[in-house]
């Protein structure tokens, strides 16, 4: 896809009335391709734009309005909208993604041990619902391999953006081969390697694609696990405190969400990320037999909008004001982001719509937020 002329075309692409160039490109090039292959091709193009210098024009055009900047979890975010974990699983193109207008990029999920993830195919599109089903299974190179990439990324972001740089989040999960009873030590190992390079850490106990992982959302298991990660992060990083958040599932009952909020307050967690993918298949317009044929996995995208908002409101009512809520699930445009902010989220993340909207998506949202604030 050819980038627009930076002097004449980019501003037009960032207006809500602009024609969408990417959807027809997606239908022509990516729609017939395996979803995971299409993801890799698209990500390679974003990284190539960075290597050739083409993303420099985007970086300038997508720079957010300074009025959007906010301090959350003790960190300065240039805009409240960021990219959720799952797109850049291994920290291979985080700086290139930052050029596209995201206020933060959450890398991962990363595990202590390298692992291939689940067998392919494991990523499926539901275009009529603007949704995805995935059972990736935390495929990544492992914390020891990813850590030096994150160190290089931080240096690159600081050089390009200075003090207004996008924030680097790191999402960690349990290695599949590690028994649940040893999960705390496994998370400690990831934390030890990754915390020195992270602006904040997110503990993922809510993916449905690692057997037994969601059992760690039970308070009796989750509280000591998060306390162990907090302790390890404090040991691993001298001179600064790395904020800690936990990512929860939309499938928790409201009462369980309130218990997580109470635990977060007891531990002094910096944030709760709500929500991960869902195992339900309710409200889809796609053919039910086709959806069933895809098999197990987490559903993300537009079908999560209502439940994600509900969980956000439950959390905000139950959490102390100083504990941040990062809302994710079914976010498509600037109006969605504003709705989450109005409902009490300090930050908002998206992911699935990125695959359908293309490389100008974050820039459009950021520009829309800026226009709303100025208005």
Quick check: 23 pLDDT over 60? Answer: yes
* Number of domains comprising the chain: 1
Pairing of strands 104-110, 167-172: parallel
CATH number for 271: 3.20.20.70
Task: Render pLDDT for 62-71 as a digit per residue (tens, 0 to 9).
Answer: 888 899 999 9
Q: What is the pLDDT of residue 14?
A: 54
* pLDDT tens profile 141-163: 999 999 999 999 999 999 999 98
This prediction has a pTM of 0.92
How would residue 26 be classed by pLDDT, with cut points 50, 70 and 90?
Answer: low
The C-alpha R_g of the chain, in whole angstroms, comes to 19
pLDDT for residue 196 is more than 90 = yes
**Where residue 13 falls among pLDDT bands split at 50, 70, 90?**
low
Residue 129 in domain: yes
Parent domain of 241: 10-374
Rounded (10°) angle between helices 183-194 and 143-161? 40
Q: Using one digit for the tens of pLDDT, what is the confidence trace for 97-112?
A: 999 999 999 998 999 9
* 5 located within any domain: no
Whether the pLDDT of residue 305 is over 50: the answer is yes
Any domain includes 1: no
- Is residue 4 in a domain? no
Q: Does residue 210 carry a pLDDT above 90?
A: no
**Does residue 350 contact residue 302 with C-beta atoms inside 8 Å?**
no
**Cα–Cα distance, 92 to 191 (Å, whole number):** 19
Tokens read off for 309: 């908002």
Task: Establish if 211 belongs to a structural domain.
Answer: yes
Active site residue 207: yes
| Residue 107: φ, ψ to 5° | -85, 145
The answer to whether position 360 is within a domain reads yes
Domain annotation covers residue 3:
no
Residue 261 lies in a domain: yes
Separation in Å, CA 212 to CA 20, 173, 179, 272, 293: 41, 12, 9, 21, 23
pLDDT at residue 193 tops 60: yes
3-state SS of the chain: helix, strand, coil percent to 5? 50, 15, 35
What is the arithmetic mean of pLDDT over 121-127?
Answer: 95
Q: Pick the most confident of 18-32, 90-104, 218-232.
A: 90-104
| Runs of H (alpha helix) within the chain | 10-13, 22-25, 35-52, 55-61, 94-98, 143-161, 183-194, 219-236, 254-267, 288-294, 305-318, 334-342, 352-357, 361-374
CA distance 237 to 233: 6
CB 307 within 8 A of CB 277: no
3-state secondary structure of 123: strand
- Out of 175, 190, 206, 207, which one is annotated catalytic? 207
């Amino acid at each position: 896809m050819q980038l627009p002329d930076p002097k004449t075309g980019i501003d037009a692409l960032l207006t809500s009335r602009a024609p969408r160039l990417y959807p027809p490109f997606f239908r022509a090039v990516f729609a017939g391709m395996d979803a995971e292959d299409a993801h890799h091709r698209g990500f390679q193009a974003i990284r190539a734009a960075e290597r050739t210098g083409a993303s420099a024009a985007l970086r300038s055009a997508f720079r957010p309005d300074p009025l959007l900047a906010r301090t959350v979890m003790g960190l300065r975010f240039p805009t409240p909208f960021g990219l959720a974990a799952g797109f850049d699983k291994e920290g291979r193109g985080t700086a290139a993604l930052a050029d596209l207008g995201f206020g933060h990029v959450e890398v991962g999920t990363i595990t202590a041990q390298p692992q291939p993830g689940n067998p392919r195919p494991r990523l499926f599109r539901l275009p009529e619902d603007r949704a995805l089903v995935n059972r990736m299974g935390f495929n990544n190179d492992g914390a020891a391999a990813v850590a030096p990439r994150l160190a290089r990324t931080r240096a690159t972001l600081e050089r390009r953006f200075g003090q207004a740089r996008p924030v680097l989040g790191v999402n960690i999960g349990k290695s599949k081969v590690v028994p649940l009873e040893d999960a705390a030590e496994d998370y400690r190992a990831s934390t030890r390697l990754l915390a020195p390079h992270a602006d904040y850490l997110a503990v993922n106990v809510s993916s449905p694609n690692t057997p037994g992982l969601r059992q760690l959302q039970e308070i009796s298991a989750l509280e000591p696990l998060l306390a162990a990660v907090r302790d390890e992060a404090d040991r691993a990083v001298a001179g600064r405190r790395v904020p800690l958040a936990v990512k929860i599932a939309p499938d928790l009952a409201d009462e369980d969400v309130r218990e997580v909020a109470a635990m977060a307050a007891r531990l002094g967690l910096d944030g709760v990320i709500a929500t991960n993918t869902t195992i339900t298949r309710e409200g889809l317009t796609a053919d039910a037999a086709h959806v069933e044929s895809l098999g197990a996995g987490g559903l993300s995208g537009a079908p999560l909008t209502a439940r994600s908002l509900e969980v956000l409101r439950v959390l905000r009512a139950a959490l102390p004001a100083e504990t941040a809520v990062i809302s994710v699930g079914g976010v498509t445009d600037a109006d969605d982001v504003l709705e989450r902010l109005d409902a009490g989220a300090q930050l908002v993340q998206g992911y699935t719509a990125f695959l359908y909207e293309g490389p100008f998506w974050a820039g459009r949202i950021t520009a829309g937020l800026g226009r709303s604030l100025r208005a």
